[in-house]
């Protein structure tokens, strides 16, 4: 006898801590999956009700109680379809990262996550205790094994489910995006399928949460290792997969739509757009304001902001100084016009002169240096923050990862803001993203992409006066920051010893700046902030 099972993958955007709102979304999604899509089972992402990552909200007893109440409301509200919902469950043994199967007002089964990640952006061992038992439950006559996120990256949980009689595996995820993450996931699923022979339904969260972006791209891999379904990346939606279970007990996934993977530039750009949109929307900012310099970083930031929340909610401010070139003014105006944003020119010369006058006696006998350059940057920050205070808009800062890494930025100046769009984007990738965005519509002037980058805080200033070419700088930073390679290893890879030593020294000495930087979208394997956490005060001066 052939049994059929339609599973709906709820790849949805949830808000951390919004227990009521998330519960309502679960109920609405389940009803849609039942009534419109004809699904018998709907699977939600990891920690559905509280959102991911809830961080130290999990330490509040009241939050855990309210999570249990939200689960009870969902359980009572939905009938006629089975749900697998993630939540935090308090027990006498401790707090579990859990998933419950709900059916017609009853909690039929509950699974406790076995593998608790405690690396990179994850610190689940701070909050949860690990589970040990498999969870296999029958849905429409098919034995379904439940696992959660990190479980699928290890052999044990899937093997236990298989031994307990599972015919297919469900995996609830809150798997954050970084470049190449989609390929890594598919390789891991193929390993689990190869070990167990069981198909896997991989349901992933979508949306931005502070620095993290979850790309969705939920997957179904058949027991033969063939991909049967790939949902679109960075898109909120519910996507179905059909299974048939024959008399031999094997659950076979029927072919479905396999959305092609995105190219690197497109995936990073869409991650930035989603991260900015959700940061602004979830924190209820009415809009964004950006200091537009005529350079490539601010041009790309403006493009991302407009694509995220619409031109009508974005304001661009050009703040020229005595060192601003005419072409910077022209290009900034062209960018603002092309994107259709509100645009103002507010010169900083009067403020700069006032500061120099106030500090005249303090500076007597000392030659101009980076101090005067930084004053200009801080004049601009005061203007942007004043606009933010008056209008409620969030300031989007524009520093890229290369600059932030070596401290080529001004604390309380161009670093000021509520969110740094390009914080984890190396400068060389900034150029590629600009070209990608211009391929959609030409909004960044060609001259901005081709001219040598400059902070324009001193006469004739260029970034290359202070830094090696970005192609070299970014390669060194990738090895040192993201791969933890030593100076000796980087030099052995073909880079100049003195240059490597200088870059390493700059990275190490500017931790204090990064600790005070705005959050920004994580798109690499190792971002500053949640990923890379180094002491500010340290006697360790080697690599």
Here the tokens at position 498 are 């003195």
Q: Compute CA 283 distance to the chain's CA centroid, rounded to the nearest angstrom.
A: 16
Provide DSSP, 8-56.
Answer: EEEE----TT-HHHHHHHHHHHHHHHHHTS--SEEE--TTTTT-S--GG
User: How far is residue 473's CA from residue 465's CA, in Å, rounded to a whole number?
Assistant: 13
Active site residue: 113, 282, 401, 513, which one?
A: 113
User: How far is residue 125's CA from residue 130's CA, in Å, rounded to a whole number?
Assistant: 8
Quote the DSSP letter at residue 182: H
Tell me the three state secondary structure of residue 303.
helix
Q: Is 354 exposed, middle or buried (0-12, 13-18, 19+ CB in 10 A)?
A: exposed
Active site residue: 50, 115, 135, 149, which one?
A: 149
Peptide bond into 53 cis (omega under 30): yes
Close Cβ partners of 414 (under 8 Å, ≥ 6 residues apart): 291, 377, 380, 381, 397, 398, 399
Close Cβ partners of 520 (under 8 Å, ≥ 6 residues apart): 211, 419, 420, 421, 422, 423, 424, 527, 529
User: How far is residue 333's CA from residue 292's CA, in Å, rounded to a whole number?
Assistant: 9
| 113 is an active site residue | yes
Pairing between β-strand 94-103 and β-strand 106-112 as defined by DSSP bridges: antiparallel
Here the tokens at position 366 are 């000392």
Q: For 111-263, where are the alpha helices, taking DSSP H only?
A: 155-163, 181-196
| 46 is an active site residue | yes
- Which among 238, 227, 228, 180 has a CA at the least distance from the CA of 204? 238
User: How far is residue 299's CA from residue 304's CA, in Å, rounded to a whole number?
Assistant: 9
User: How far is residue 419's CA from residue 213's CA, in Å, rounded to a whole number?
Assistant: 14
CB 283 within 8 A of CB 271: no
User: How far is residue 408's CA from residue 431's CA, in Å, rounded to a whole number?
Assistant: 18
Would you please indicate which residues are annotated as catalytic (active-site) residues?
A: 46, 113, 149
């Amino acid at each position: 006898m052939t049994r059929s099972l339609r599973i709906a993958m709820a790849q949805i955007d949830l808000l951390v801590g919004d227990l009521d709102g998330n519960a309502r979304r679960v109920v609405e999604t389940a009803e849609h999956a039942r009534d419109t899509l004809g699904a018998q089972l709907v699977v939600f992402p990891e920690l559905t009700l509280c959102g991911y990552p809830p961080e130290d909200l999990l330490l509040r007893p009241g939050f855990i109680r309210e999570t249990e109440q939200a689960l009870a409301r969902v359980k009572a509200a939905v009938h006629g379809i089975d749900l697998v919902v993630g939540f935090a469950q308090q027990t006498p043994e401790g707090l579990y990262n859990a998933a419950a199967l709900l059916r017609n007002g009853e909690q039929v089964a509950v699974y406790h996550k076995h593998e608790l990640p405690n690396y990179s952006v994850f610190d689940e061992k701070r909050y949860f205790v690990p589970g040990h038992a498999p969870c296999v439950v029958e849905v429409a006559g098919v034995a379904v094994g439940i696992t959660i996120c990190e479980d699928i990256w290890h052999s044990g949980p899937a093997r236990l489910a298989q031994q307990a009689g599972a015919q297919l595996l469900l995996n609830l995820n809150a798997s954050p995006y970084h470049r190449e993450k989609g390929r890594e996931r598919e390789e891991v699923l193929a390993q689990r399928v190869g070990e167990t022979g069981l198909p896997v339904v991989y349901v992933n969260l979508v949306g931005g949460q502070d620095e993290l972006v979850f790309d969705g791209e939920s997957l179904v891999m058949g027991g033969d290792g063939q991909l049967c379904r790939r949902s679109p990346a960075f898109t909120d939606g519910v996507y179905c997969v059909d299974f048939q279970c024959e008399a031999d007990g094997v659950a076979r996934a029927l072919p479905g739509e396999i959305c092609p993977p995105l190219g690197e530039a497109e995936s990073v750009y869409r991650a930035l757009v989603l991260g900015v949109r959700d940061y602004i929307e979830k924190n209820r900012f009415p809009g964004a304001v950006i200091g537009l310099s005529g350079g490539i970083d601010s041009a790309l930031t403006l493009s991302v902001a407009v694509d995220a929340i619409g031109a009508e909610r974005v304001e661009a401010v050009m703040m020229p100084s005595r060192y601003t070139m005419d072409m910077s003014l022209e290009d900034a105006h062209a960018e603002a016009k092309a994107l259709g944003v509100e645009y103002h020119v507010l010169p900083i010369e009067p403020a700069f002169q006032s500061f120099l006058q106030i500090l005249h006696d303090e500076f007597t006998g000392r030659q101009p240096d980076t101090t005067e350059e930084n004053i200009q940057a801080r004049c601009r920050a005061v203007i942007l923050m004043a606009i933010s205070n008056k209008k409620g808009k969030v300031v989007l800062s524009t520093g890229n990862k290369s600059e932030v890494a070596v401290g080529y930025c001004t604390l309380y100046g161009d670093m000021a803001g509520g969110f740094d769009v390009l914080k984890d984007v190396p400068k060389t990738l900034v150029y590629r993203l600009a070209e990608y965005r211009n391929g959609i519509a030409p909004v960044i002037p060609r001259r901005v992409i081709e001219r040598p980058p400059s902070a324009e805080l001193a006469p004739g200033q260029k970034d290359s006066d202070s830094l090696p070419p970005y192609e070299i700088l970014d390669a060194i930073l990738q090895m040192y920051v993201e791969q933890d390679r030593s100076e000796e290893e980087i030099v052995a890879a073909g880079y100049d010893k003195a240059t490597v030593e200088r870059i390493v020294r700059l990275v190490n000495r500017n931790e204090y700046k990064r600790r005070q930087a705005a959050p920004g979208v994580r798109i690499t394997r190792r971002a500053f902030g949640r990923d890379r956490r180094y002491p500010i005060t340290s006697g360790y001066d080697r690599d």
